[in-house]
Amino acid sequence: MIPHTAFDGYTLIFGVIGSPITHTFSPKMHNPVFRKHAINAAYVPFHVNPNQVEDALKGLKALSISGINVTLPHKQTVLKYLDDVDPYAQKVGAVNTIVNKNGRLIGYNTDGPGFILALETECRTTVQNKKCTILGAGGSARAIAFSLAQQHAASLTFINRTLRTAQELAENISSSHPTLPIQCLTNTSSDVATILSDSDIIIQTTSVGLNSTDSPIDNFDWVKPNHICVDIIYLPSKTTFLKQCEQKNAVIQNGLGMLAGQGALAFELFTGIKEDLSTFKRELNHD
Ligand code: ATR
């Protein structure tokens, strides 16, 4: 183990940029794993104002920073300042990981793949041939949906407050996955319970339930023990949505899974080391 005090002229610097950034869990996750592998590195948060993203990325090069994660609201903005973007991140239109390869900044997106990794590891299921329903149609829904499509889900359904937003996302996904059946409906549609009941995997991606007891849906009569119900929120650790699904004995997972998953895959891009998701999860659960 390398203690924090051992930083020297060889220390590699990694970090995360966002605005705000004080709430980030990423340093808590990455620093102990660097130490576990005796990698002389430090992972730090950087507050970057939305109007200074280009300067920040120039700074990465100037300071030879080895890699960074990107969080809200910069995931789309960074794209235009990168030297190269991985095809999947390009398709999603968002980057959450940047690697500085010999002075060239390469963008990746590990959010969707991290979600899939957590689902497979912790819920012991695969996506292939599964009917997947997503509550919400924002940035997180988009990253997850592209990964579900890539993993050959049987179908995708978006349930969103604003139908048009869901339809635009569906059109976007259809253009690269033309044979995937996709449908969209609003939260208030009378078909919601039937669609949810008929789904295998249900993913809650809206901000409803974040630091509150609200839920994007009120009716949980459809939940059965074979349903896999995921909420990407991790504060609170169990949203009302998850509590209701758990009461009906569904398999549930909160947002720490996706957070650990995207972290594990970013760590692999940073270091070439494949570390178990459970290691990152353990660090997140430490006080
Ligand atoms: P993120 O990037 O974290 O996914 P986002 O892009 O702002 O966040 O998306 C937020 C999602 O939560 C959207 O699907 C939004 O629905 P709309 O498209 O109708 O805006 C959904 N959402 C936010 N507040 C909501 C509410 N009070 N009720 C239902 N859905 C809500």
| Average pLDDT of span 86-101 | 97
Q: What is the mean pLDDT of residues 227-250?
A: 97
Mean model confidence pLDDT for the chain: 96
What digits encode the pLDDT tens for the residues 112-140?
999 999 999 999 999 999 999 999 999 99
pLDDT at 250 (0 to 100): 97
Q: Is the pLDDT higher at 27 or at 2?
A: 27
State the average pLDDT over residues 73-96: 97
Q: What are the tens digits of pLDDT across the range 171-180?
A: 999 999 999 9
Q: Is 279 in the pocket of ligand 1 (CB under 6 A)?
A: no
Q: What was the pLDDT predicted at 24?
A: 95
What pLDDT, on a 0 to 100 scale, did the predictor assign at position 79? 97
**What is the model's pLDDT at position 280?**
97
> Starting at the edge strand that comes first in sequence, how are the strands of the sheet with 41-47 ordered?
41-47, 12-18, 67-70, 97-101, 104-108, 84-85
Please tell me the predicted confidence (pLDDT) of residue 257.
Answer: 97
If you measure from the C-alpha of residue 207 to the centroid of ligand 1, how many angstroms do you get, rounded to a whole number? 6
With beta carbons less than 8 A apart as the criterion, state whether 216 and 196 touch.
no
- CA of 162 relative to ligand 1 center, distance in Å: 9
User: Could you report the per-residue pLDDT of 203-224, keeping only the tens digit for each?
Assistant: 999 999 998 999 999 999 999 9
Q: Read off the pLDDT of residues 104-118 as tens digits, 9 standing for 90 and up.
A: 999 999 999 999 999
- Do the Cβ atoms of 126 and 151 come closer than 8 Å? yes
- How do residues 243-286 score in pLDDT, each as one tens digit? 999 999 999 999 999 999 999 999 999 999 999 999 999 999 98
State how far the Cα of 210 lies from the Cα of 232, in Å rounded to an integer: 10
Atom of ligand 1 nearest to the CA of 207: 12
Mean pLDDT for 220-229 is: 97
Residue 68: strand, helix, or coil = strand
Long-range contacts of 60-65 (CB under 8 A, 24+ apart): 60/98, 60/100, 60/105, 61/100, 61/103, 61/105, 63/13, 64/13, 64/100, 65/13, 65/14, 65/15, 65/100
- Contact (Cβ atoms closer than 8 angstroms) between residue 136 and residue 216: yes
Tell me the C-alpha distance between 63 and 53, whole Å. Answer: 15
206 lines ligand 1 (CB under 6 A): yes
The answer to whether the beta carbons of residues 134 and 162 sit under 8 Å apart is no
The amino acid occupying position 216 is P
Tell me, using a 6 A CB cutoff, whether residue 138 lines ligand 1.
yes
**Quick check: 2 pLDDT over 80?**
no
For the CA of 205, the nearest atom of ligand 1: 4
Q: pLDDT grade, residue 5 (50/70/90)? A: low
pLDDT value at 42 more than 60: yes
Q: Has residue 67 got a pLDDT over 80? A: yes
Mutate to test the pocket of ligand 1, among 165, 184, 205, 207 (most ligand atoms within 8 A of CB): 207
Atom from ligand 1 closest to the CA of residue 161: 19
Closest C-alpha to 181, from 163, 192, 195: 195
Amino acid at 279: T
